[in-house]
């Protein structure tokens, strides 16, 4: 069977998922239905917002389904009516029960943002940056009832750059995931797809990010703080307090110089950056964001507020 004749049901919600749906549509694959999260109320105007996946599907005249849960007979019957050959899942956000997993002829496949079994779970890309990994990748997995525990069908690797934030790494991984998806569908259609069981002893979990962990602890090393900053862009964005004000950090660097000052103490501040002592090394703050403002270079901030980060100031 040609891969483009496969009856594909697609499940996904954010932009990352929409890019994968787009590559299927642009390459003439037979997408017979799309599942995505229910519309959400967002923004100051409390407007109802559809997911990027829904908007894309509707623009191509594809039927969209938005169940709150797939764990009921109605949802199972609904998907069965589409007679899918394969269910492609990319950042969908709903748990697939066994009844749904067993429906498609070739099962359900998931595009996951790590080289499984490392970083199962919700935030694999962010955790890989925070932990200082040099390589990550995409895994196409045959889904089962566990959390990212299914057999591995296909993988593709990518280097993590020293300058990567989660945002830039997401963008660089999108085409990798898209090509892995198309290659996997070719393997499935030709009967060459072979799942390899994951090595459980090598498994680790990438837990969901929280706002609390984004607050900087200056007793950590400057290098670890820099990784935290890069990992938490665009959300929840690493931050610290100056008095009662919370300030977000968008760009920083680490210097390995030894310093005896209490962690969180401003050592110097000029157009080259705000230098802050840490538990090991010096953190150089380059781009900051005040509440209600856009991110600004430190040189611009100091032009209007010379004494705001004067040496001896304690950041917490």
Q: What is the CATH number of the domain that holds 292?
A: 3.10.25.10
Asked, for residue 309, whether it belongs to a domain, the answer is no
Asked, for residue 311, whether it belongs to a domain, the answer is no
Asked, for residue 79, whether it belongs to a domain, the answer is yes
Asked, for residue 290, whether it belongs to a domain, the answer is yes
Around 70, how many Cα atoms within 13 Å sit in the side-chain half-sphere?
21
Question: According to the model, what pLDDT value does residue 103 have?
Answer: 97
Q: What is the pTM of this model?
A: 0.93
Distance between CA atoms of 188 and 107, rounded to whole angstroms? 10
pLDDT in 10s for each residue of the chain, 316 residues: 899 999 999 999 999 999 999 999 999 999 999 999 999 887 667 788 999 999 999 999 999 999 999 999 999 999 999 999 999 999 999 999 999 999 999 999 999 999 999 999 999 999 999 999 999 999 999 999 999 999 999 999 999 999 999 999 999 999 999 999 999 999 999 999 999 999 999 999 999 999 999 999 999 999 999 999 999 999 999 999 999 999 999 999 999 988 889 999 999 999 999 999 999 999 999 999 999 999 999 999 999 887 899 999 999 9
Domain count, the chain: 2
Asked, for residue 279, whether it belongs to a domain, the answer is yes
Residues 224 and 199 in one domain: no
Residues 96 and 67 in one domain: yes
Residues 187 and 216 in one domain: no
Long-range contacts: 122-126, Cβ < 8 Å, 24+?
122/206, 122/207, 122/208, 122/209, 123/206, 123/207, 123/208, 123/209, 124/206, 125/166, 125/169, 125/170, 125/173, 126/166, 126/206, 126/209, 126/231, 126/232
Question: According to the model, what pLDDT value does residue 307 have?
Answer: 84
Residues 199 and 222 in one domain: no
Asked, for residue 310, whether it belongs to a domain, the answer is no
Asked, for residue 20, whether it belongs to a domain, the answer is yes
Residues 33 and 104 in one domain: yes
Residues 197 and 258 in one domain: no
Residues 252 and 144 in one domain: no
Domain limit, last residue, from 171, 206, 241: 206
Structure tokens that stand for 112 in this block: 């996951």
Domain limit, last residue, from 186, 206, 226: 206
Q: What is the CATH number of the domain that holds 100?
A: 3.40.50.170
Question: According to the model, what pLDDT value does residue 47 have?
Answer: 86
128 closest CA partner among 166, 154, 90, 168: 166
Residues 252 and 112 in one domain: no
CB 258 within 8 A of CB 279: no
Asked, for residue 292, whether it belongs to a domain, the answer is yes
Residues 201 and 216 in one domain: no
**What residues are paired with 255 via a beta bridge?**
282
Domain limit, last residue, from 206, 237, 265: 206
Residues 149 and 276 in one domain: no
The range of the structural domain enclosing residue 232 comes to 212-304
Residues 58 and 184 in one domain: yes
């Amino acid at each position: 069977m040609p891969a483009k004749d496969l009856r594909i049901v697609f499940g996904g919600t954010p932009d990352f998922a929409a890019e994968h749906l787009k590559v299927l549509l642009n390459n003439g694959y037979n997408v017979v239905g799309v599942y995505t999260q229910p519309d959400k109320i967002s923004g100051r105007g409390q407007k109802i917002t559809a997911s990027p996946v829904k908007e894309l599907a509707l623009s191509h005249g594809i039927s969209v389904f938005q169940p709150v849960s797939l764990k009921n007979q109605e949802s199972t019957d609904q998907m069965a009516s589409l007679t899918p050959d394969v269910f492609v899942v990319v950042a969908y956000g709903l748990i697939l029960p066994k009844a749904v997993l067993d429906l498609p002829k070739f099962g359900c496949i998931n595009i996951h943002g790590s080289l499984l079994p490392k970083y199962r779970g919700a935030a694999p890309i962010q955790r890989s940056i925070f932990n200082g990994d040099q390589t990550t990748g995409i895994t196409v997995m045959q889904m089962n009832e566990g959390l990212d525990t299914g057999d591995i069908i296909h993988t593709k690797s990518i280097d993590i750059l020293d300058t990567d934030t989660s945002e830039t790494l997401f963008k660089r991984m999108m085409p990798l995931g898209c090509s892995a998806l198309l290659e996997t569908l070719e393997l499935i259609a030709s009967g060459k797809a072979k799942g390899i069981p994951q090595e459980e002893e090598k498994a680790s979990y990438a837990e969901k990010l929280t706002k609390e962990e984004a607050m900087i602890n200056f007793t950590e090393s400057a290098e670890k703080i820099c990784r935290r900053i890069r990992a938490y862009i665009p959300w929840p964005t690493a931050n610290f307090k100056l008095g009662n004000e919370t300030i977000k950090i968008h760009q920083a660097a680490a210097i390995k110089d030894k310093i005896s000052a209490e962690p969180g103490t401003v050592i110097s501040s000029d157009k080259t950056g705000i230098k802050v002592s840490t538990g090991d090394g010096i953190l150089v703050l380059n781009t900051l964001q005040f509440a209600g403002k856009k991110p600004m270079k430190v040189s611009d901030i100091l032009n209007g507020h010379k004494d705001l980060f004067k040496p001896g100031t304690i950041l917490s």
